[in-house]
Amino acid sequence: GAVVSQHPSWVICKSGTSVKIECRSLDFQATTMFWYRQFPKQSLMLMATSNEGSKATYEQGVEKDKFLINHASLTLSTLTVTSAHPEDSSFYICSAPSQGQRNEQYFGPGTRLTVT
């Protein structure tokens, strides 16, 4: 089946620095990708919809200037956490919808961000 990869799988950074997370669709094109955040023992919360060639759409309460999303190609979306703080420590997961009518989404393996 289709594969979505994320890089890095984990990252530790200091407060105030920025971190970039990549999401790639490996064997299919994705004009849309989704970014989720998951805190420990909680569910996934949609942060934003990444749109190839246009601006991302952010969910209510998500700061677009803090979580920069760039969907520069049909196989790559990046999420940059700017001026990271310890409360940004979380598991970040991306997904891409399947092609065709199956309405499934393929999820990346996630990136664990720890801000110290």
Residue type, 2: A
Instruction: Indicate the residue among 9 and 18 with the shorter CB distance to other proteins.
Output: 9
**Least distance in Å: CB of 90 to other proteins?**
12
Among 7, 68, 91, 114, binds other proteins (CB under 8 A): 91
Give 89 or 105: the residue with its C-beta nearer to other proteins.
105
H-type helices in the chain, by residue range?
A: none
Give the C-alpha separation, 41 to 52, whole Å.
32
Longest dimension (CA), the chain: 43
Q: Does 14 bind other proteins (CB under 8 A)?
A: no
Alpha-carbon gap, residue 83 to 87, rounded angstroms: 11
Query: Which residues of this protein are in contact with other proteins, per CB under 8 A?
Result: 6, 32, 34, 36, 41-46, 49, 91, 93, 95, 97, 102-110, 112
